[in-house]
Structure formats: C-alpha cells, structure tokens
Amino acid sequence: MSHDASTQPTGMQWKWVILGVIAGLAIVGASYFIVAPTFHSDEIQALVMLVGYAVTGVIVGYFSPGVTIKEATIAGFLVFIIMLGLLYATGAEFVQNQTINLLLLALGVSISWVGGWVGEKLQGSHGEMHHEGFQWKWVLTGVVLGFALNILFVFLVAPAFRIDLNVVLAAFIVSFVATGFIVGYKSPGVTLKEPAVAGLFAVGVDWVFLEFVITLAVPSKYLVAGLAIGFLFSLFGAWLGEKYQEAVQAKAAM
C-alpha cells in the first residue's frame, strides 16, 4: 500500500487523529475490558492497554497517506485521556496512583509514536527499494509487531477458552506466523532472516516482562522452547509472506 508523493497531503491531518482515537478506543478499551475480569494483575492490564496504543499507531501510520507519525502520537495521547476517565468511572484500582498514570501517559504516547513508525514502514510510502544485506529496521518492525501480537493473541484468546494452555500455545504460535507473514509480505525484496531474528527478540521481551514485571519465574526449558517457536514460526510466516508477495507481483505484471 504505497502512495504517490505528489498526492500526499502536508500538514497535520486531523482526520487521521480522529480516526486514530476511534480505533484506539475500540482496541485499547476492548482489550482492557476483556482482560480485566480474568487477569487481575495491574501489570497485565496496563501492558494490554499499552499494546493497544502500539496497534493504534500502526493502523494510523499504515492506512493514512503520507507520513502521519505525529497524528498517531496525538491520537495515543487523546485515547489515554479518555481511557483514564473511563477507568476512573469504573473504579479501576491501578489508575488511582498518579505516578502510574504519568508513567502510562509517557509510555502510551511513546508507544503510539513507535506504532506509527512501524505503520509507515509497512505502508512503504517512501518508495523504498530493496537494499542488500541484513536490514535491522525490519527486525525492529518485526519485534514491535511480534510482541504486540503475542500479547493480544494470548491474553485476549485465553479468557475466551478459560486459559486452556493448548489454546494459549496455539495463539502464541499463530502470532509469530502472522508477524513473519506481515514482514515478509510488506518488506521489499527477500526478508526471511529479519522476521526470524525478530521472533527471537520478541520472545526475549516476553521473558523480561514475565520474569521482572509480573515476577513469574519461567523455567529455562520453556524459554528455550519459546525462542525456538519464535524463530521457526516467524521464519515460516515470512516464507509464506514472500510467496504471497511473489504471487501478487506476478499477477500485477500480467
């Protein structure tokens, strides 16, 4: 989904700020109110909301013409203000702490900016050509996508199936296949290594959150298994994405 530079609007695009707020409230709000009844951890609830900001940024950056990272950031800020009011109204305990509120504000705005950047990379609005060699920007894109999809797939699917571990594992695997597919399809040229490495880093971020934020000790064998899953299934997804990219290009050339 690329846009001709001559048709790209300049200046602040308030339409995309408003659409970002609508999308953000739907994603962040739904994520929180689905997760909160099952997971009573403040850290998990806050994390799911922050991932919602990232997804909001990705949506605005990807679907809007031109470079709209600042619009994604402003949308994230407005979503935070509205969600704060809703959470106060529903009596959520963790928003009673003003220090946490300031931290969530800083993280929410920052993560919305990161999401907007990822959306721009996926949009390909700059007429990017493929560069030879390893491309770290697609690793970073894959890490953000992978971690976000891990959290959304696992924590949103788990309540629906009463935290069945087989379903959680399946959701975890699918999130990596989806990450690899998106990066493989949207990146120019052949980018198989980058999504695979991104899968490793995404699992590492998962582990840091589990180990140090919610202090849930993860046995080393599960960490190793997670790293293998992240690498192999991101690689598989990237291969599928490349094949689909080839099919689309072949069809367009006919």
Got the DSSP string for 145-198?
HHHHHHHHHHHHHHHHTTT-HHHHHHHHHHHHHHHHHHHHHHSSS--SHHHHHH
Same domain, 39 and 155: no
Same domain, 116 and 147: no
pLDDT at residue 7 above 70?
no
pLDDT of residue 169: 87
Same domain, 121 and 205: no
Same domain, 113 and 137: no
pLDDT of residue 87: 85
Q: Say how many domains are in the chain.
A: 2
Same domain, 251 and 188: yes
pLDDT of residue 129: 57
Same domain, 191 and 96: no
Same domain, 145 and 225: yes
pLDDT band at residue 25 under the 50/70/90 scheme: very high
Same domain, 96 and 138: no
Instruction: Give, for 237, the enclosing helix (H) or strand (E).
Output: helix 220-253
Same domain, 1 and 122: yes
Same domain, 236 and 250: yes
Domain boundary among 78, 112, 128: 128
pLDDT of residue 114: 94
- DSSP character for 95? G
Average confidence (pLDDT) over 129-151: 86
Looking at 53-67, 147-161, 179-193, 224-238, which range is the least confident one?
147-161
Same domain, 185 and 170: yes
Domain boundary among 105, 128, 151: 128
Nearest to 76 by CA among 101, 45, 109: 109
Domain boundary among 113, 128, 143: 128
What range does the domain containing 225 cover?
Answer: 131-254
Four-residue CA torsion sign, 177, 71, 33, 102 = positive
Same domain, 42 and 111: yes
pLDDT of residue 201: 95
